[in-house]
């Protein structure tokens, strides 16, 4: 039976879709049959970050409304054999998503995939609630800033009360914390929250810390999940997070400010 994993946040712009693309790719690179679903109906960005926007013919709403079969809407990734993408609609309203329709899709995908990743819209509107309703596990994405962490705390409350597991009084959704856009130097200057403070507020296990990196923007602009950039710190941090998700022990990297020598102090230097 497939594990349904929702990638969620309370606030927009924290790197949720980037994280969904990276995680889905990382799982597939490790031989796990993985499908990632874009639930952001009307805004659709996952296909751009995955580099498949020109291959979108049908989407999740077409499948729910009976205009296309699921296998017609699924897009196989050309780089990683075990990875597929189910895009969102760019022209329909979020009300086109129904619980029954989403359940049918997840049940069908569960027959063929090990992991179903749900790239949730930010907040708690209909698409977000549907994305998290069927979750077995949740990756809560937050930035090291007060408003983002506070909104993530609200999402944790929703996961604990409005998921299918909560309704059926089953074992709760397994929660993971992913901190993105982390800059240790800014933390030292008091411009960002410390990791300890974020962990204390949210009280869920830390899955990964993704450093602020120009490689994330480069990857998004070229339609390549950043985890495929194995030379970049962000790519390595996502790979570490995927390994932890699969039960491996990995120390957290890129969480301490780099001690710059005189050359770097004089001439600077940015993260890759």
> Does 17 show up as a binding residue in the annotation?
yes
Q: Of 105, 89, 20, 95, give the one whose Cα is nearest residue 56.
A: 89
127 is in an annotated binding site: no
pTM of the model: 0.92
174 annotated to bind ligand:
no
Could you tell me how far CA 262 lies from the centroid of its own chain?
A: 38
Could you give the angle at which helices 214-222 and 233-245 cross, rounded to 10 degrees? 80
pLDDT at 271: 55
Please classify residue 110 by burial: count the beta carbons closer than 10 Å to its beta carbon, then call 0-12 exposed, 13-18 middle and 19+ buried: middle
Is 235 annotated in a binding site? The answer is no
Query: What integer pLDDT is reported at residue 272 of this predicted model?
Result: 58
If phi > 0 it is left, if psi is from -120 to 50 it is alpha, else beta; for residue 237 that is alpha
Tell me: is residue 13 an annotated ligand-binding position.
Answer: yes
pLDDT tens track, the chain, 272 positions: 899 999 999 888 899 999 999 999 999 999 999 999 999 987 789 999 999 999 999 999 999 999 999 999 999 999 999 999 999 988 776 778 899 999 999 999 999 999 999 999 888 888 899 999 999 999 999 999 999 999 999 999 999 999 999 999 999 999 999 999 999 999 999 999 999 999 999 999 999 999 999 999 999 899 999 999 999 999 999 999 999 999 999 999 999 987 765 555 556 555 55
11 is in an annotated binding site: yes
| Rg for the chain, CA atoms, rounded | 18
Q: Whole-angstrom Cα distance, residue 131 to residue 66? A: 20
DSSP class of 58: S
What pLDDT does 225 receive?
97
The reply, when asked if residue 8 is annotated as ligand binding, is: no
- Pairing type for strands 115-119 and 174-182 reads unpaired
């Amino acid at each position: 039976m497939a594990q349904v994993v929702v990638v969620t946040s309370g606030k927009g712009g924290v790197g949720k879709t980037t994280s969904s693309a990276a995680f889905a790719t990382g799982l597939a690179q490790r031989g796990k049959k993985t499908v990632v679903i874009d639930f952001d109906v009307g805004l659709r960005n996952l296909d751009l970050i995955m580099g498949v926007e020109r291959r979108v013919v049908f989407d999740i709403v077409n499948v729910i409304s009976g205009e296309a079969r699921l296998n017609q809407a699924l897009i196989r990734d050309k780089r990683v054999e075990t990875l597929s993408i189910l895009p969102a609609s760019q022209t329909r309203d979020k009300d086109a998503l129904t619980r029954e329709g989403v359940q049918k899709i997840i049940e069908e995908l569960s027959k063929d995939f090990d992991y179903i990743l749900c790239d949730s819209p930010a907040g708690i509107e209909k698409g977000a609630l549907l994305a998290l309703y069927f979750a077995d596990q949740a990756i809560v994405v937050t930035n090291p800033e007060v408003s983002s962490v506070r909104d993530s705390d609200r999402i944790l409350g929703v996961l604990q009360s409005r998921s299918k597991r909560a309704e059926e009084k089953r074992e709760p959704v397994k929660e993971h914390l992913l901190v993105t856009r982390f800059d240790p130097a800014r933390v030292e200057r008091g411009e960002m929250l410390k990791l300890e403070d974020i962990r204390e507020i949210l009280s869920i296990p830390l899955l990964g810390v993704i450093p602020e990196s120009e490689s994330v923007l480069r990857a998004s602009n070229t339609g390549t999940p950043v985890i495929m950039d194995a030379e970049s710190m962000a790519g390595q941090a996502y790979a570490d997070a995927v390994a932890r998700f699969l039960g491996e022990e990995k120390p957290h990297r890129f969480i301490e400010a780099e001690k710059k020598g005189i050359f770097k102090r004089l001439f600077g230097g940015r993260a890759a």
